[in-house]
A and B are shown apart, each in its own frame.
Chain A
């Protein structure tokens, strides 16, 4: 049984000591140097393809037919599953899933997304750029609305409201400053966030949006669920409202900036049907060079874009301090940069077909602006998805998101390496393997019993 040692009165063999030593050395090496762990295949694949995007008819390109859809289940972000809020929000989580394909052609990456939308195309929307703004609908599912609390809350944030009936009211103006109160405090006082005010008859609804979040931090298990907060971290709610929130949140301070990330930073690609899509009602804002320059967009980039406008997506930066616009002067959120030449260097195509939205994101692999993700073939990235159905009352912080980040690998292989195999063949093969394994196990068992 091998060489004995003085350890444990000779009861510990040299073999065991060697194994423990080697294991310890290996463990220490892993602690000192970033040695990769052996992986198994998982996640979304961006395959190497030949060809270019057809933004007029996204998804029609020949290479997409050889790449499978990756199904991403979505969850309501304003739900008790995802956030420590007291109640679910009825309008959050209207999109059950989004299907994803990814490819790259050497210079550009293409991300194709498809999701069901029974409400039909929504190309207009006051929230795209300008208009009446985000109106907030509140209600009480358990009885009459507590108008006393509603008055205290709205007056603290200098908002007005109008009553629809005894249980419903609409707050005029964006809920952004009071999101934390609406989510964590107001339900305790009989005022619940219902969703964004929508009136399909008068055209008061928000545009469809879809976003991809690329994680750029170093946490092993980051959350893709953004924080609910205020305009800046440690915002102190003054007066009576501050006193009313303390029993439920521990203090009158709102710790986070709304839209900030709990750990690390991420680049968000956001396509807005009303604003960044040529068929959208507000697309003409971006084709106007004067408006662009007034809003902090690079003049040369704006001029070139006005000559040859195309669908595109905006880049946002989220980190632990807040949520920011990249490359403009702060059209939606505070700006993280000054004007950037690469503002319009990404492309997007979209179509609404048979009850589904299909949107194609196209971007150079190399980061076109500061704070945007640089993509390298062979690397794996963490991505998350968010979708908003404006006609159902979703927009801004009220959306459907993937419950966590998903690995996306920019593969150096082409999809033809693993050609499609008919489903019945695979099913039979898997069943056959399992039956064979059971048979081998039974044979093994019977041999051992002899």
Chain B
């Protein structure tokens, strides 16, 4: 649990965590979510470039923030995490100039395996630090992330260690979708558990609701009675998120998307206005769910999952 050596150090840590969470949400929104969708909207082409730049900005800023966050997370193996994550983030950038194919050499593959293992370890540490009800409600997100990490290691073993492991990723498609749906419901339940009264909190909840509705309602209205648009958005979901669902389920998926946005924002509001614990849980949920549906082709995905997990572990059960 967090050793309270001073109120200011706790505030400093939570400010770092908030910075991490904010940057991660921006990179997810602009780089992972909106970029695949924008080409199918009437938005002008230059918007796409601007969004790409904002997403890239966030990834670079995250690469700076994460090592500092890990440095301040006083947990065992902190130094190992700091060295491996920093090497994976900035060593890769440096090597791309010195030796552009560094990422297919055995030292880098070994480092990636180590990063993969440390990410799993951080998830285990986070799980052990969750309260029972939190664990139950966050278990779909945890399983989603572990499924994704399993898929990553199977691909790595097939391609670099010549072990054929075919078909696993295709078999995981529908369980992944099911976990995504269940995860939206349980995360909403977790967010609603922490509801507080008060002007600031109420204003935050209203804003959270409005944001979620403004994102998911147009998508729902666009697709609920329009088979053509259901297929368009279904293709976008398949391309952008790797989610393969029947087109008729797209109105439902837009509600699921809205629930994720709503519950994440409510968790952040709860964290900001009453109990900071919800801020940590929001970081955990956002990093787990959003990176679970995309190939872990960048070091930043592993580093983000490990950072949010270590933060929850640092928080412990008591706080």
Chain A positions near chain B (C-beta within 8 angstroms) = 1, 11-13, 15-16, 19-20, 22-24, 26-31, 35-45, 67-71, 73, 80-86, 97, 184, 219-221, 223, 225, 248-249, 262-263, 378-379, 403-404, 407, 409, 411-413, 417-421, 423, 426, 430, 433-434, 437-438, 440-442, 444-445, 447-448
Contact = CB atoms under 8 A, between A and B. Distances in A.
17 contacts: A13-B8, A22-B64, A27-B58, A28-B57, A35-B93, A44-B159, A68-B158, A68-B159, A84-B227, A263-B39, A411-B104, A412-B101, A418-B106, A421-B163, A423-B163, A441-B128, A447-B76
Contacts of A418: 106, 109, 160-162
Contact of B298 (A24, A40, A262, A404): A40
B35 A41 contact: no
Contact of B6 (A1, A27, A37, A249): A1
A84 B101 contact: no
B316 A448 contact: yes
Interface residues of B, number: 90
A36 B93 contact: yes
Contacts of B229: 84
Given A31-B57, A42-B295, 9 more contacts: A23-B23, A36-B96, A39-B299, A41-B112, A42-B296, A68-B158, A219-B39, A430-B153, A444-B128
Contacts of B174: none
Contacts of A27: 56-58, 60-61
Contacts of B92: 36-39
A-B residue pairs, 7 tightest by C-beta? A38-B92, A84-B231, A441-B124, A27-B57, A23-B61, A30-B60, A36-B96
A223 B239 contact: yes
B162 A420 contact: yes
A38, A86, A412 — most chain B CB neighbours (10 Å): A38
A44, A97, A440, A444 — most chain B CB neighbours (10 Å): A444
Contacts of A248: 228
A23 B109 CA distance: 27
Nearest to A437: B121
Nearest to A427: B163
A37, A219, A447 — most chain B CB neighbours (10 Å): A37
B298 to A, nearest CB: 5
Contacts of B235: 81-84, 223, 225
B101 A71 contact: no
B286 to A, nearest CB: 18
B93 A37 contact: yes
Given A39-B92, A80-B246, A1 B8 contact: yes
Contacts of A30: 56-57, 59-60
Contact of B159 (A43, A403, A433): A43
Interface in B40-71: 52-53, 56-65, 68
B161 A24 contact: no
Contacts of A39: 92, 96, 103, 297-299
B11 A378 contact: no
Interface in B180-206: none
B115 interface: yes
Interface of B: 1, 6, 8-9, 11-12, 15-16, 19, 23, 35-36, 39, 52-53, 56-65, 68, 76, 88-93, 96-97, 100-101, 103-106, 108-109, 112, 115, 117, 120-121, 124-125, 127-129, 153, 155-164, 166-167, 169-170, 227-232, 234-235, 238-240, 244, 246-247, 295-300, 302, 316
A38 B90 contact: yes
Given A37-B300, A40-B297, A43-B159, A262 B58 contact: no
Contacts of A86: 227
Contacts of A36: 92-93, 96-97, 100
Contacts of A22: 64
Given A30-B57, A71-B167, A438 B101 contact: no
Contacts of B121: 437, 440-441
Contacts of B63: 26, 38
A81 B244 contact: yes
Nearest to A406: B295
Given A40-B112, A43-B159, A448-B316, A31 B8 contact: no
Given A41-B103, A81-B244, A83-B231, A19 B238 contact: no
A30 to B, nearest CB: 4
Contacts of A69: 164
Contacts of B23: 23
Contacts of B61: 23-24, 26-27
Given A16-B15, A26-B64, A448-B316, A42 B162 contact: no
A36 B227 CA distance: 40
B93 A38 contact: yes
A21 to B, nearest CB: 9
A441 B119 CA distance: 12
A70 B165 CA distance: 10
A70 B153 CA distance: 14
A23 B68 CA distance: 11
Nearest to A32: B53
A68 B155 CA distance: 11
A30, A67, A219, A263 — most chain B CB neighbours (10 Å): A30
Contacts of B298: 37-40
B115 A16 contact: no
